[in-house]
Structures are given as structure tokens and as C-alpha cells.
Structure 1
Amino acid sequence: MNFDEIIERNQTNSMKWDAVKTIYKSDDVWPMWVADMDFKAPQPVLDALHRVTEHGVFGYHLPPESLREAISEWMLKRFDWQVETKQITFTPGVVPAIHHLIQALTNEGDKIIIQPPVYYPFFSLVNVNKRELLENFLLEDSGSYQMDMDDLETHMKNGAKMLILCNPHNPSGRMWKQDELVELLELCKKYNVTLVSDEIHSDVILHGKHVPLASIAGAEDVQVATCMAPSKTFNLAALQLSYVISNDDELQRKLELQMKQTFSGIGSPFASAAAEAAYREGEPWLEDMLAYVQSNVDYVKQRLDEQMPKIRYMDPESTYLLWLDFRALNFEEKDLEQWLRQDARLALNDGHTFGKPGSGFARMNLGCPRSHVKEGLDRLQKAYEQLV
């Protein structure tokens, strides 16, 4: 796979490229925001989609058992995690899956914990479902984030019913380590808190090893719903296939009943074929992609260190996202947004959308050809040099 290949995405109804004028109020901003990649999917995926098209009939679809088996085999190979095929419930995206889990496992007015700065749909998922949002702010420590376990326990003592975890963490790329997850599980067991673990980035690991929360000894004593998908891994977001791995039969029963009530979960032959091909034949592509993204990360880090030292960053262990820290430039929140849009001419995800601790930060997407990264850094450096 040639990850340097430039694939034209303008005027293809791409959110990342075609929505920037509406959202950022300019058609001269360089898009490095939405968390999809500018790379073609693996060739086995393209071949599988072609076979579906050649068949020519696109009626109602049931995900095949072979897809469940491919997922189970992937979990064992990548994470040493034994997942039975019957534990898998297919969902039309991780965000919809979390919505269904909230509906199935909590009631209006129940308290749900999230850990800002964190993936911004978590806020609206809690609020639109009329649950009470509790924020357990992450703590900065030596250029990384740590969980505030004391504050977390206080929320649980006060009656929280659910915690939505982001692991690997979006936007920082932090991977929660096993000892941290063990402590988290112990708290949830003590206070009977259900854990919804968004692990959509679990395959996009730059260094280290991802630990699925539900794979840890002791997780069987806590209700854990693990939300995963091939979408970030293989750039298949538009196919809208994800799944929840349940470690508890009652949890799974409630989830599937709730989905039936909303007629959710009707599959797509394109999504099933693509996902199965990706899990069975896409690993070489994935390993090459991870090496390429790491080289992009290294390139950006070097340029920032040498040419823009007041712009700091959290070194990601995972994801193709870089969490940039602009606080040393002493901007007010709106001024930073304006400077990035008008002076740097960049479309990044504004840090404050990830919660109060994200103020002064912005998220940059490095899942793109090096020339795209260079263009974005050139724009940023020009604006930086005019500023300092």
C-alpha cells in the first residue's frame, strides 16, 4: 500500500473535506480534523466489496456467523482475549451503540460518569437521553493524563449508575494500563457501576499493548459492555458496522431488546463483507499503516520541538490523533480558534469541545499522506513565526 498516494476527496461528500467551509467559515482551511483517514482501505476489503456489487442484489441482510468467528479470532490474536461468538451484538456504529446501552441499562435521571477531556459525543449522549452528567476530570501529569480515582469514587458514592470509558483515550492517545483498569474495576464492583468501554481505537496502537477492559481477571464481577468496530482500524466508518461484546448475559439481553424496540441492527452486505475481509486479510495493511502514522507523529514532534517549541503535545501511544497544547501562546479560547482558522488556516478539532480541561488544546489528525501533514505544519509554522 502506498500511503503517500494523494486521493482526491474534495467533492466526494466527504465530511472531512467538503464540510469545512460550513463549519470553519472558510474554504481555505486545511482539514486535519474528523477522525477518518485519507488512505484507501486494504485491497482485500475492496475486493470483497466488489464481489458484493457483482452479485447485484442488496436486500435485507443478516451478518453471517463467519463474521462473528473472524471477530473472535481477531480478539484472540491481537489481545489474547477469548471472546465467544454469542457474546457479540452488532450495532450501527459505536456512538449509536452507547446510546442503546444508556437506554437499555439506565433510567431517566440516572447519573452517568464521563472523563473529560474526552470524545465529545459522550456529553450529548448523556444529556439527550435525559441522564445526569457527572464529570470526572482527568489529571495532567508529566505530559500525560491520569485518572482521578478519589474524585471518581466520590461520584460513585453519590449514586452513579454507569461510567463511559474511552480506551484508548481520544483525544490524547493515552492507553490505560492494566493496573489502572484493575483499580477502576474494583471501584465499579464496590459501587455496582456498569462500565461501557469505548475501545474503537484498540487496534490503532503505536507502541505498547492494548488491554481490553473485559479481558482482565475480575471483570466478570462487573457488567462490562465493550464497544468496538473495524472503522478506525481499516478506515471503514461510512459502512456503519460496529459491535458490542457483552460479558454479562442480562446486559446483552437488555441491549438486544432495546435495539429491537427501535428496529436497529439490520445489517448491510457491504459492511459484513468488508469487516470480515479486513479481520481475515487486513493485518499486513494495518501494520504498515501503523508504521506510517508513527512516522507522521515523529515528523510533527520534531518540527514542533525545533521550530515551534511553544506548541506542546501529548506523545500518543495509540490512535492517529495528536493532542496539541497551545496554552503557552496565552490565547483566550475564542482567540485561539480564530488564530488557527484565519492565521494558520487549519481545521483542527477545538479542544474545548472535549470538555473544560481541553481548553487551550486542539486535536490534529495524522492519518493522511506525509505531504498533507507537511502542508498543515507549514501553515502552522508560518502563523507561529508571525506571532512570536
Structure 2
Amino acid sequence: MQLEKFIDRRKTHSVKWFIEDQDIIPLCIADMDFQVSEEIVSAISQKATHGIYGYSTFCARYYDAVEYWWKTQYDWELKREWISFSPGIIPGMNLLLKALTKPGDAVIVQDPVYYPFFSAIQTQGCTILHNSLLYSEDGYKMDFEDFEEKAAQPETKVFILCSPHNPVGRVWTHEELRRIGEICEKHGVIVISDEMHGDLTYPGHKHIPFAKVHPDHLDFSITCAAPSKTFNIAGMQSSIFLIPNKEIREHYETLLTGFGLMRPNAFAVEGTIAAYYKGLPWLQEVKEYLNANLEYVCTYLEEHIPSIKVVKPEATHLIWLDCRELGIPADELHTFFLEKAGVRLDEGMKFGAGGQGFERINIACPREVLTEALLRMKAAIKERETC
């Protein structure tokens, strides 16, 4: 299987693998160590062979491909005018917050959550309202009572929904999404729904776009998505923002143009078209491999490092690890794995107060890499326990 092949990325300007200590195994940053589909490679190679990489724009084939993907994967009929662009989720989110808020307004997040949300909110001079997820042995759930209390505050203008949730891996149900929608509609709160990981679900789970849950959601929601996580093409910097509300869309696109961010890079359009029309077989193979890696990690930790508990994800190629039983202080946990095991994870504390004692691990890599990392973690923990 091609996914088993280790491809050395150390000298390719990869952010994930750009490390001074060549012995460190990076299982952090959420891109995959899998080569992209042959169809995407072919489309990009053809574009590269053309030999001119001037300013690019969108075409009917691009919009057709976006509409095709959402129709075939989510049974959602998009209107073409909804489809907008951003070079990335976070740049676009910053512009949306600039369009929707003013300094002093408040924005709700559900921590522990993708930490760039925090800086995006603070950059606009807004207050972060923490509607922390409730964690128990059954996993993570939303605290609806607290959510409505915060949504009802007059300064609250926006809720950033992470769906599926990063890092805890929840795929929110129709009932959960509808209840959130009812609360936000009641109190006039706009929903920015980050659905970047929606295509990467595990068996038995299906992502539901927030805006599709109920017709009323369309007017007060923005869906942020991309082929980047799904097809491992984040470097093409092409995200898709679905904005049904005409007033919000026009305001956003005015800011997008004002900051000179309205054009895709030379390879983004052809890469997206190839991904959405021809990438599904590759994606299905990747999801099967990720599921096998997930089961492997769960079994290994249960047998060899039972003090690390897996918060089993329903989506994403990331696993949220509960390391609190190790007895390592939260502010030392990340450094322990990095310096003693030679494994770089994502520090749980960065995801908010609910991340203390947790680490996030990326399992989108060949099994041999994952095995070596787990062996190192086991050895480091054993050494610490015998000291």
C-alpha cells in the first residue's frame, strides 16, 4: 500500500518536518505524511508544465466541482453565489470577525479548541467567552445552559463552532446543531462554522453541515471548509467560505479584496477540481488507513501505557490524549515527550484551560513512524517511573 511508504519531508520546507534535531518525530501540525492522489499530482504537473504562473482566478469548472462535492457528499444543493474564497480558514476568520464585530464585542468558543481561534478574536479587540465542553468518561458534550447564558449577553455577536471538533474529535449530532442554532437565532448571534475536518469521519459517523440542519440557519451562518485537510493540499492555500447571507458576504468580500487576498495561487484551482471530482477513491483508502491507525494506537496504549487514555475521535486524523494519570505537571508534559521521547506532539494547554494534562497526536502517517513514536513514549515513561 502506498500509504505505508515513508516519504522524507525534512528538506522540503515542510513546517511539520522543519526541525533542527533530525531525530525528533513530529506528530503535531495537522497535515498528512501521505502522498496526494495521482489525479491531483497529474493536474498540478500539467499546470506546472504550462510554464506560466501568473495571477489566477476562478472559473465555472471550479464552482461546478465545489457544488458537486457538497451535493454528492452531504446532499446539499449550494447556490453558486454563496461560494467565496480565502487563502486559509484563519485568515478568512479574521476578516469575518472584522466584518461582524467591533472592539469590545464578545465571541463564544468551546474549549479546548483549535487555538488560532483565540488570537483571531483577540486581534479584533474582542472578548473570548469560554463555553467549555463538558468532559466525562463518556467523552465530550456541549454545555447548553452555559451556552445560552453567554449567547444572551448583549455584547455577544459571534459563536465560532468547530465541527467536527478539533481537538476532541466530536461529530456533532443533528439535535446538538439544531439546539445551538435555535439559541443563536434567538439571541442574534452569528455562527462561523469551521468544518475543515468534515470529510475525515470514522465509520458510524457522518458530518452534518451546520447551515444545512435547518433553513433558518442559512441567514446567520458561514461555513468554512477546504479540500486541504481532506486531500493533504494545505500548501495550495485555497479555502471555501459558504456565505448565504448577501450582506455578510459582500462585506467579507470587500475586506478580502482590500487586503489583496481575493486570488488563489496558480495551482489551487486545478488542484481543487481534481480533488473534488477524482479524489474520492484515494480519500476512502486514507480513511480506512486512519481507522486502522486509530485502533492500533488505542490498543497499544491500553496494553503498554494504560496511564494515557484515548479520547476516541469520531472524526479528524488527530487524537486527544488524556495524560493526567502520568503525574507529570501540565506545564512540563509537552517538554517531557519532546526531550525524553523525541516525539513532538501538540501541547494541550494551547487549546485552552480544558487542555491541561492533554496532548494532541497526529496519526496521519505510515504505521512504522507511529510505532516508533509509541515505542519512544513507552520507554521514556518507563524510565521516569523507575527513577
Give the shorter-chain TM-score range. Answer: over 0.9
How far apart are residue 134 of structure 1 and its match? 1.1
Match of 2:287 in 1: 290
Distance in 2, Cα, partners of 1:266 & 1:212: 26
Q: Tell me which of 232, 240, 244 is aligned to 1:243.
A: 240
Q: Tell me which of 202, 205, 215 is aligned to 1:206.
A: 202
Matched, 1:175 2:165: no
Give the 5 Å matches for 1:29-68: 29-68=24-63
Q: Tell me which of 90, 95, 110 is aligned to 1:100.
A: 95
How far apart are residue 247 of structure 1 and its match? 2.3
Does structure 2 retain, via aligned residues, the 8 Å contact 1:189–1:221?
Answer: no
Does structure 2 retain, via aligned residues, the 8 Å contact 1:94–1:228?
Answer: yes
Does structure 2 retain, via aligned residues, the 8 Å contact 1:323–1:364?
Answer: yes
How far apart are residue 384 of structure 1 and its match? 2.1
Q: Tell me which of 375, 379, 385 is aligned to 1:378.
A: 375
Q: Tell me which of 148, 158, 165 is aligned to 2:153.
A: 158
Alignment partner of 1:15: what SS?
coil
Output the TM-score relative to the length of structure 2: 0.96
Alignment partner of 1:279: what SS?
helix
Does structure 2 retain, via aligned residues, the 8 Å contact 1:114–1:165?
Answer: yes
Letter in 2 for 1:61: S
Does structure 1 retain, via aligned residues, the 8 Å contact 2:109–2:160?
Answer: yes
Does structure 2 retain, via aligned residues, the 8 Å contact 1:63–1:268?
Answer: no
Letter in 2 for 1:266: R
Alignment partner of 2:148: what SS?
helix
Output the TM-score relative to the length of structure 1: 0.96
Distance in 2, Cα, partners of 1:329 & 1:187: 39
Q: Tell me which of 51, 73, 79 is aligned to 1:78.
A: 73
Does structure 1 retain, via aligned residues, the 8 Å contact 2:227–2:233?
Answer: yes
Does structure 1 retain, via aligned residues, the 8 Å contact 2:151–2:189?
Answer: yes
How far apart are residue 221 of structure 1 and its match? 6.2
Q: Show CA shifts across 1:3-56 (max 9, x none).
A: 0011110121111111x34xxxx5432110010001111110000001111111
The alignment's C-alpha RMSD in Å is 1.2
How far apart are residue 328 of structure 1 and its match? 0.8
Q: 1:221 to 1:114 in 2, by over 3 A?
A: same
Distance in 2, Cα, partners of 1:308 & 1:333: 18
Alignment partner of 2:150: what SS?
helix
Matched, 1:7 2:7: yes
Match of 2:348 in 1: 351
Give the 5 Å matches for 1:85-234: 85-159=80-154, 160-207=156-203, 208-220=205-217, 222-234=219-231
Letter in 1 for 2:309: R
Does structure 1 retain, via aligned residues, the 8 Å contact 2:211–2:218?
Answer: no
Alignment partner of 1:269: what SS?
coil
Matched, 1:266 2:287: no
Does structure 2 retain, via aligned residues, the 8 Å contact 1:63–1:269?
Answer: no
Does structure 2 retain, via aligned residues, the 8 Å contact 1:327–1:361?
Answer: yes
How far apart are residue 329 of structure 1 and its match? 1.2
How far apart are residue 143 of structure 1 and its match? 3.9
Alignment partner of 1:204: what SS?
coil
Alignment partner of 1:331: what SS?
coil
How far apart are residue 218 of structure 1 and its match? 4.1
Does structure 2 retain, via aligned residues, the 8 Å contact 1:161–1:193?
Answer: yes
Does structure 2 retain, via aligned residues, the 8 Å contact 1:143–1:313?
Answer: no
Q: Which runs of 4+ in 1 moved over 6 A?
A: none
Matched residue count:
383
How far apart are residue 57 of structure 1 and its match? 1.4
Distance in 2, Cα, partners of 1:130 & 1:220: 27
How much identity, in percent, do the aligned residues show? 36
Distance in 1, Cα, partners of 2:121 & 2:67: 30
Q: Show CA shifts across 1:131-168 (max 9, x none).
A: 11111111103341111111111111212100001001
Q: Show CA shifts across 1:185-207 (max 9, x none).
A: 00001100000000000111112
Distance in 1, Cα, partners of 2:375 & 2:322: 18
Does structure 2 retain, via aligned residues, the 8 Å contact 1:192–1:222?
Answer: no
Give the 5 Å matches for 1:299-338: 299-338=296-335
Alignment partner of 1:380: what SS?
helix
Alignment partner of 1:339: what SS?
helix
How far apart are residue 252 of structure 1 and its match? 1.0
